[in-house]
Amino acid sequence: MARIHSHRHGKSHQTRPTVKSAPSWVTVGPKSVEGTILKLAKDGLTPSRIGVTLRDDYGVPLTKPILGKSVTEVLAEGKAAPKLPQDLQDLVNRAQRVQKHLQTHKSDRKNVHSLELVEAKIYRLSKYYKASGVIPKTFKYAAVVAQLA
């Protein structure tokens, strides 16, 4: 699949296991996996970092075969889910970093264009999440590109 704002095709990806059941070598039970997920969330880790920590430190390749739920669903049930989905939050953080850069480097036209692209992604993704009910319909991202021109 091609990237949205570049003329390249991404090659990097992971290969998911073909079997939908939990591997036989996983010794961790469902209750302990849920407890670990909630404990890591209380420590301030994002859902993707929780998945990586479970994989690397606890030997849990995927939570879905073990629990029947994803990490985000477990966090939502435990009332520890983030306010914004992680991909949208990452885009907002990237836009803030570019805005901070542009405050000190006002003539950096390449990054003005980069900010336009990031904000376009934010608008597209927030429109999708509003339609699917993940974020409230009142969510509004304030554009900074219009202020720069």
Give the pLDDT confidence of 38-67 residue by residue, as tens digits: 999 999 999 999 999 999 999 998 999 999
Query: What angle (nearest 5°) sits at the alpha carbon of residue 113, between those of residues 110 and 119?
Result: 140
> Is residue 149 predicted with pLDDT exceeding 50?
no
Once rounded to an integer, what is the mean pLDDT over residues 110-115?
94
Count helices and strands in the chain by DSSP H and E runs: 7, 0
Confidence of residue 10 (pLDDT cuts 50, 70, 90): confident
Check if the beta carbon of residue 95 is closer than 8 Å to that of residue 119: yes
Q: Centre a 10 Å sphere on the Cβ of residue 30 and count the other Cβ atoms it contains.
A: 13
The distance of Cα 141 from the centroid of its chain, to the nearest Å, equals 17
Report yes or no: 144 and 119 within 8 Å, Cβ to Cβ: yes
H or E segment and range at residue 12: none
